[in-house]
Amino acid sequence: MSHYSQFVSKLNDIDSVRLACEELGLSIRENSTVRGYYSDNQSVKADFVVSWLGCQYEVGLVRDAKTGHFTLVYDTWQGNVEKKLGKGCIKLIESANFHKIAKKAKLKGYFINRRDNEKGIQMTLMKYA
């Protein structure tokens, strides 16, 4: 029985995902197999795989050829991934989205103020005339 679940996301900027991984203490590698409870019997291939020390479970990012967005694939058994990254890997998604927005905002001359709270990331953009 497979415990792998798929979460469709709007993530499409791998550089922002890499920055999010660095921020969250995660490692990322390309073109690999996602480890889960049934690693030997039911492997999932992914364009990128996110992992971290102390957890045998990983998160795969599989790019949709039509949209360019990544689907996140991971084994939900015992909530190992969700303990680190939240349901649907929300911490990874929020951090990657922050880095994508921040990169674009800086290019347009905005200053970025970031605050992390229990609801997630709060971002304020300011531009001085």
Q: Mean pLDDT over residues 46-60, rounded?
A: 94
Contacts 24+ apart (CB under 8 A), 87-92: 88/7, 89/7, 89/9, 89/59, 90/120, 91/24, 92/17, 92/20, 92/21, 92/24, 92/26, 92/50, 92/59
Do 51 and 34 form a contact (C-beta atoms < 8 A)?
A: no
Lowest-pLDDT choice from 23-32, 56-65, 117-126: 117-126
How deeply is 4 buried, as exposed, middle or buried, from its count of CB atoms within 10 A (0-12, 13-18, 19+)? middle
Q: For 83-98, what is each residue's pLDDT tens digit?
A: 999 999 999 999 999 9
Domain limits, the chain: 4-97
Per CATH, the number for 4-97 is 3.30.310
* The pLDDT value given to residue 44: 87
Residue 72, helix vs strand vs coil: strand
Higher-confidence residue: 42 or 80? 80
Higher-confidence residue: 55 or 11? 11
Q: Is the pLDDT of residue 119 over 90?
A: no
Alpha helices in the chain (DSSP H): 14-24, 80-85, 90-107
Residue 116 forms beta bridges with which residues? 121
Q: Is the pLDDT of residue 78 over 60?
A: yes
